[in-house]
Structure 1
Amino acid sequence: MQDNLFKIDLKSKLPLYDQIERNLRDLIVNGHLKPGEAMPGEWNLAELYGVSRLTVRRALDELVRQSWLEKKHGVGTFVRQPTMASIAAGQLSFTEQMRSIGREPSSKFISQQVTAATDKIARALHIQEGDPIIEITRVRLADNVPILLETACLSTAKFPSLENHDWSQDESLYRVLSDEYEITISAMDHTIKPVTLTETEARYLKAQAGIPALLSQIIAYTPGGTPVEYAWSVSNGDKSEFYFHFQRTE
């Protein structure tokens, strides 16, 4: 790994340990530091950042507390296997998110059907209530562990013959839209709220019914701002972790 990736601004008003914490977290999120990888030693990091060992230790301890790193007694500090996706900028699909953190994505096909759009789905996709849509339900897995129970809805008028696609082949929906319809997803509205798992959801996710979970609802857009997908997914609460980085733009 390149030493110049370990960088902070010594003239910044932000505390040095805070800058180191943010820098290391970004390196993990963006895949420069991979799950299971040993971290450089404290003395090495102190030299790379130009700070004291105590400053480095404070940053590492905070990342351990946040479950980004784990310390193994007598061995060292390692990048922790993430419980789910730490979503990096520019990576909108589940497949991209999982691969960015070193996990192997896969899907288990549950069902697909052509049905009538409800008012909520119609408004999201800018179509009429009752218009035909294809509804695709799959379990999304990372390293063969169930992560999400997901249902995606798309207009059959915008994507003719999509209902005939064989989803048992474990393909990325966004790759199919790109390859077969020349549609690229460039933006997404994403809403998350707490729920509890139903018995059906728990069965697919191999979890216990009634435990805390997260319901995610998304609307995906083309570069021109056209909504093409409305989807919702449920994830087991103890397998969910979200990382957001906000930065002011002038």
Structure 2
Amino acid sequence: MIRYQEIAESLERGLAAGGGGARAVPSEHDLCERYGASRTTIRAALKQLQERGLIERRQGQGTFYRPRHIAKHLGSLVDFHTEARMAGRVPTTRVLSLRARPATADEAALFGPAAAAGLVDLTRLRGLDDQPAVLQRSRLGLATLGETRDADLENASLYRYLAECRGVQVATVEETLEPWSVSAEEAGPLAIAPGTAVFRSQRVARDADGAVVEVSDNLIRGDIYRFTIHRDVTDAAPGATA
């Protein structure tokens, strides 16, 4: 293997081991000293990482590592746009459809009074650096969402919009993950081939009184996201073992 390729692989392993999120890459001078290599060799290694989308050069700021995956923490209520920016990505949200309809009997029982006037089906496509990442299909009570336009939810957090514009605060979220093989209809917006494996997230959001605010079915590209969970061993039952 050529020397600059060895250095590129070593850098990638070291940066990946540092956890998720964008962070600064050491300067060319520091890398020359670390690897005992010429500046030309270091620049070739950095160019290889840049071509693979693993690092980016920011004018006046330096070079930053961009992890292959965004580490999403289960149980976190950090919104999509904030989470993406924390990882050094550029987030977008596009509304694909927003339509009201009558609630079924089962939906009326689930949503309660919020569904009396009907439900709203909201489908959005979330992107990262102009790449489709998450297809979100949400159901909300028409009384909860109100007279909302597509533009109100473009490049915005749904929960923040509900809190700031509708006075509805999400307090708890229950989320279930499962592997899923996308259909041709689902694959199109995500720009992947039909049959590709993704994460399927089914989520129920409730307010402080336990009333259902939103039910969503989300398809998340596994080549972009990975999920983590944090556990405190001090919360384990006495005598529990791994």
1:122–1:93 distance in 2 versus 1, CA, 3 Å:
farther
Q: Distance in 2 between matches of 1:106 and 1:98?
A: 9
1:91–1:172 distance in 2 versus 1, CA, 3 Å:
same
Tell me whether 1:141 sits opposite 2:127 in the alignment. yes
Give the letter for the 1:116 counterpart: P
Equivalent of residue 112 in structure 1, options 95, 98, 102? 98
Q: Distance in 2 between matches of 1:118 and 1:80?
A: 45
Question: What displacement does 1:197 show?
Answer: 1.1
Tell me whether 1:158 sits opposite 2:144 in the alignment. yes
Partner residue in 2 for 1:35: 22
Residue correspondence of structure 1 range 183-202 to structure 2 within 5 A: 183-202=168-187
Give the letter for the 1:37 counterpart: A
Tell me whether 1:174 sits opposite 2:159 in the alignment. yes
Return the TM-score normalized by structure 2: 0.65
Q: Distance in 1 between matches of 2:86 and 2:103?
A: 34
Q: Distance in 2 between matches of 1:152 and 1:112?
A: 10
- 8 Å Cα contact 1:211/1:237 also seen in 2: no
Return the TM-score normalized by structure 1: 0.63
Q: Distance in 1 between matches of 2:84 and 2:123?
A: 19
Question: What displacement does 1:210 show?
Answer: 0.7
Question: What displacement does 1:181 show?
Answer: 1.2
RMSD: 3.4
Deviating above 6 A after TM superposition, structure 1's stretches of 4 or more consecutive aligned residues are: none
Q: Secondary structure at the match of 2:188?
A: helix
Q: Distance in 2 between matches of 1:210 and 1:186?
A: 35
Identity %: 22
Q: Distance in 2 between matches of 1:88 and 1:39?
A: 31
Larger radius of gyration: 2
Give unpaired runs (5+ residues) of structure 2: 1-16, 31-53, 56-63, 237-242
Q: Distance in 1 between matches of 2:180 and 2:76?
A: 27
1:198–1:167 distance in 2 versus 1, CA, 3 Å:
farther
Q: Secondary structure at the match of 2:209?
A: coil
Count of aligned pairs between the two proteins: 189
Between Structure 1 and Structure 2, the one with more strand by share is 2
Partner residue in 2 for 1:87: 73
Give the letter for the 1:208 counterpart: A
Q: Secondary structure at the match of 2:125?
A: strand
Q: Distance in 2 between matches of 1:122 and 1:143?
A: 38
Q: Secondary structure at the match of 1:157?
A: helix
Tell me whether 1:239 sits opposite 2:224 in the alignment. yes
1:127–1:199 distance in 2 versus 1, CA, 3 Å:
farther
